[in-house]
Amino acid sequence: MNNLELITKLEKAGTLTKDEFVQLISTCSQSDMEYARRLAVEIARKHFGNKIYIRGLIEFTNICKQDCFYCGLRCSNKSAQRYRLSPEEILACCKAGYPLGFRTFVLQGGEDPFFDDEKMCDIVRLIKKTFPDCAVTLSIGERSKDAYQAFRNAGADRFLLRHETANEEHFSKLHPKNQTLASRKECLYNLKKVGFQTGCGFMVGSPYQTTETIAEDLMFIREFEPQMVGIGPFIPHKDTPFADMPQGSLDLTLFLLAVVRIMLKNVLLPSTTALGTICPDGREQGVLSGANVVMPNLSPIDVREKYMLYNNKISTGSEAAEGLRDLKERMNSIGYDIAVTRGDFSETN
Ligand code: SAH
Ligand code: SF4
């Protein structure tokens, strides 16, 4: 089969074999890519119209006990200036976001033991009590099934936990020995079991990634059937072991966004900050590849530069919650509009 036939098969059957994914990724031409992106936009339009969901991102702690080799927040990075927000500061972010139109707040952070299960539940309850019409998404890494259940009972709605790579050997090249793919996957399955709208995902161009490992990522995504998928380019951070590794490719990221949209028609698919960081109109290009979510930064301005997952991470302009008007204009310029709604995953969408 040629690549156009493979893309059509993916659209109809919802999946390809591993070999077919490998062929599609490794031999994809500019025109194949344009075809996939057009189809992805058409599918997203059918499910979401011209509406883009927004999420207010609150980076509430950059303290992390994990040591992922790619990340600037890893515990071995002694030059990071660490901070934590108090529950009051977190709530103040939500209070600033609500009148701007945010109806989902994403609490993202390192794996910070200070925020134990009970503290997290208290924070979730506080936000849900103050803003009953808003969704809360957590992105705080690996915890026990009981903890996930408790977060859910406290009212949290969604959870983002990228699987990072579905290939064991690749996973072990990106993480120290005590972090395993098996544990990551177990967490993902537990998140689903306790009823979260769950997101997995991976970086494009992470060190040692191959066409094969990407094919395995896509097969895993197919099997797991997440409600959300986070895909963005790898960007090196100067104080990590991967400081000198090349950043991920814009074109491949856009192509993979399109592939995921064609595969999982109604999935919530963000055009990520990392994409906006490697390219001035990356956010728009992501939307023009089938993405339907953007997550502007709602963190207090003075901590933004401390939440450096990678070099030069953007957090101002249309990337910032206060720059929502700019984001709206950018979306309008490509025929889209921002929706003031929770923007939940819907089976029937
Ligand atoms: N600690 C949580 C959430 C914060 S990290 C967790 O790990 O799940 C959120 C995501 O940032 C990670 O899943 C990873 O895919 C991404 N990330 C980390 N370092 C990055 C880098 N150098 N380039 C691009 N994305 C990166
Ligand atoms: Fe910590 Fe997440 Fe960074 Fe890993 S990716 S070091 S878990 S913040």
What pLDDT shows up at residue 242? 98
Tokens of 171: 């996973």
Q: What residue has token string 């120290």?
A: 176
Q: Would the CB of 141 count as within 6 Å of ligand 2?
A: yes
Tell me how far apart the alpha carbons of residues 186 and 95 are, in angstroms, rounded to a whole number.
35
**Residue 62 CA, ligand 2 centroid: distance in Å:** 9
Domain ranges of the chain: 18-42+51-339
Tell me how far apart the alpha carbons of residues 328 and 192 are, in angstroms, rounded to a whole number.
33
What pLDDT shows up at residue 100? 94
In CATH, the architecture of 18-42+51-339 is Alpha-Beta Barrel (3.20)
What pLDDT shows up at residue 194? 98
What pLDDT shows up at residue 349? 66
What pLDDT shows up at residue 95? 97
| Alpha helix segments (H runs only) across 194-241 | 211-224
Q: Would the CB of 110 count as within 6 Å of ligand 2?
A: yes
Q: Would the CB of 234 count as within 6 Å of ligand 1?
A: yes
**Residue 110 CA, ligand 1 centroid: distance in Å:** 9
The parts of the chain modelled with pLDDT lower than 70 are: 349
Ligand nearest to the CA of 184: 1
Tell me how far apart the alpha carbons of residues 13 and 214 are, in angstroms, rounded to a whole number.
19
| Alpha helix segments (H runs only) across 58-107 | 87-97
Q: Would the CB of 274 count as within 6 Å of ligand 2?
A: no
Residue of the CA atom closest to atom 6 of ligand 1: 141
Tokens of 290: 């089938």
**Residue 185 CA, ligand 1 centroid: distance in Å:** 16
Atom of ligand 1 nearest to the CA of 164: 15
What pLDDT shows up at residue 69? 98
Q: Would the CB of 74 count as within 6 Å of ligand 2?
A: yes
Q: Which of 83, 111, 273, 306 to mutate to test the pocket of ligand 2 (most atoms within 8 A of CB)?
A: 111
Ligand nearest to the CA of 162: 1
Q: Would the CB of 313 count as within 6 Å of ligand 1?
A: no
Q: From 257, 255, 189, select the one nearest 226 (Cα to Cα).
A: 189
Tokens of 285: 């290009």
Q: What is the dihedral of CA 61, 62, 65, 67, to 10 degrees?
A: 150
